[in-house]
Amino acid sequence: MSARKSSSTSPCGRPEALARLLQARKFAEVASFCIEDLSDDALPNVAAALAVLAGIAASDAACCARLKQRPRGQDHREAEALVATIHPNGSTMAKDLSRLLNEKDNAQYGVMLVSRTSAAKMVGWAERLIDSASAVLAS
């Protein structure tokens, strides 16, 4: 299945998909370390920000692998629409990406600290996106 190309996408393929998936995994790995480290109250924010980056990278990986294009616009919400077109599991991936993007501003730019529980949920959403992107690459 292929999505219609727009000016806010760029072409990509399997090599880019593999690179973005590797980045997604590392973002999530470091995010998990930040949640486990109880020494600093700001670390859940770091974990949450990394979870957002992991989710975006995983979404890119899936799009590159299946659609041969990835979103490149300033509005990350465009990625939701594009990833939703992936079969199977596109709608689930889009939902997890949406959840992450809903928390992006608070995690990355907010003045309030993200709770460890909220950050852990975000890492879970990112890890689910990574699992889905891995399945897309494997198919």
CATH (domain of 78): 1.20.120.330
Q: How many domains does the chain have?
A: 1
Tell me whether residue 5 is in a domain: no
> Among 20-34, 104-118, 119-133, where is mean pLDDT lowest?
104-118
CB atoms under 10 Å from CB of 8, counted, come to 14
How far apart are the C-alpha atoms of 119 and 106, rounded to whole Å? 11
Tell me whether residue 63 is in a domain: yes
Asked whether the predicted pLDDT for residue 52 surpasses 80, the reply is: yes
Percent residues over pLDDT 90 in the chain = 81
Tell me whether residue 131 is in a domain: yes
Q: Tell me: the pLDDT tens digits for 57-86? A: 999 999 999 999 998 877 878 889 999 999
pLDDT averaged over every residue in the chain: 92
The pLDDT value recorded for residue 7 is 58
Radius of gyration, CA atoms only, the chain: 14
